Structure 1
Amino acid sequence: MIEETHTKSLFTGIVEEMGTIKQLGFDQDNSFTMKIGAKIMLEDIHLGDSISVNGTCLTVTEYDTVLTEFSVGLAPETLRKTSLSELEIGSLVNLERALSPSTRMGGHFVQGHVDGTGEIVEMAPEGDSLWVKVKVGRDLLKYIVPKGFIAIDGTSLTVVDVFDEEVCFNFMMVAYTQQNVVIPLKKVGQKVNLEVDILGKYVERLLSSGFVESIKSS
């Protein structure tokens, strides 16, 4: 879990808009702050709101509805465990506000807790769709299954195939998705933030704790 203060925030993995990094770096209090230009995010924004930035749940610390921008703070652990440290002024980022009771559930439950990063190793078009292959560590690959959900830079996507020997998985994006998220703008060799489906981790925990065996024997 990257941001321990966001245990109650959930997202769908359906990107609402792409924002633009306007400023980033350490401020006078030695806190790493990121200022992002956006429009939809500012429609009902409040201090303390949770917003997913490339799949990382971050807290709004300032906002300006006239300049249409908001700021978020990043903890050192967040910078170490995500690809956000690679962003530059002018970079585009995927943005999504936390779920509200009236939100339509269009993707899957995403916590905004980045499990790790993967490296894009291949991007290949097929018609107007795009195949993307990502290399990950084996500690994450065990949670990734064909036809399963995964959040990549905060985008809810479906895994197509898993390649155990290559320690990779791939997915395909249709034209509409390509036009509305940042992944197609990245290049081979760049990192993406990954959040695996939480159900896989729950199952592993139950099996390792012996809970299932205790039920069978009871």
Structure 2
Amino acid sequence: MFTGIVEERGTITARDELTDAARLTVRGPTVTSDASFGDSIAVNGVCLTVTELSGDEFSVDVMAETLDRSSLAALAVGSTVNLERAMRADGRFGGHIVQGHVDGVGTIVSIAPAENWTVIRIGLPEALRRYVVEKGSITVDGVSLTVSATADDWFEISLIPTTLAHTTLGEASVGDPVNLEADVIAKYVEKLTGGGDD
């Protein structure tokens, strides 16, 4: 489990295409400082398992389903990614409950800088619309954020300079795909009240 508080921006240093997967090697000095084989690290909000460690780099295998359901397929050598280690049981809960299970991919529709913050509007896939509410939580590329506005097919997040400086969202452009994870509490409530499609 994660909290959506990005610990560092990492860099993709290698990408190897496998038969039905891809192997990514990522440089991340902070997240590798105490990492071990088999640990979970969120890469742009996707929970992945460390398969190899070498200095300040780690490798992960990304199966075809994950590539199809997230924006990781677009990563190339040199791409910058948000990194977070799995939460320790005695850690501080700084964001919200984040599983690292991407629910869908949104597209950045607009970026509106202001004096003290930047508003980013993101296109919202239809399957996720019922889970996104104003002032609710959402994870965008692994970053725990508060929804500042919403409509039928989009939502907005308002980012302070610290978030822009310490996550990949500060480098985002209109048209970029972003991984979205809805608040798991909303999904459980829906299931328990019989409101889901299952």
TM-score norm. by structure 2 comes to 0.95
Is 2:28 the counterpart of 1:42? no
Give the Å deviation of 1:174.
Answer: 0.2
2:12 aligns with: 21
2:171 aligns with: 185
* In 2: Cα distance, 1:89 partner to 1:159 partner: 31
**Greater C-alpha Rg:** 1
Is 2:124 the counterpart of 1:133? no
Contact 2:163 2:169 (C-alpha < 8 Å) held by counterparts: no
Matches of residues 65-80 of structure 1 in structure 2 within 5 Å? 65=55, 68-80=56-68
Structure 1 counterpart of 2:88, one-letter code: S
Q: For residues 128 and 75 of structure 1, do their structure 2 counterparts lie closer, same or farther at Cα, with a shift above 3 Å needed?
A: same
Matches of residues 79-118 of structure 1 in structure 2 within 5 Å? 79-118=67-106
What are the Cα deviations for residues 37-89 of structure 1, in whole angstroms up to 9, with x where unaligned? 11001111100000000000000000112xx1110000100000000111111
Is 2:187 the counterpart of 1:201? yes
User: Which of 46, 49, 62 is the aligned partner of 1:56?
Assistant: 46
Is 2:150 the counterpart of 1:162? yes
Give the Å deviation of 1:102.
Answer: 2.0
1:215 aligns with: none
Give structure 1 stretches of 5+ with no counterpart.
1-9, 211-218
Matches of residues 139-150 of structure 1 in structure 2 within 5 Å? 139-150=127-138
Structure 2 counterpart of 1:23, one-letter code: A
- Could you say what secondary structure the match of 1:57 adopts? strand
* In 2: Cα distance, 1:130 partner to 1:91 partner: 22
Identical columns (%) = 44
After TM superposition, which residue ranges in structure 1, 4 or more long, deviate above 6 angstroms? none
2:160 aligns with: 174
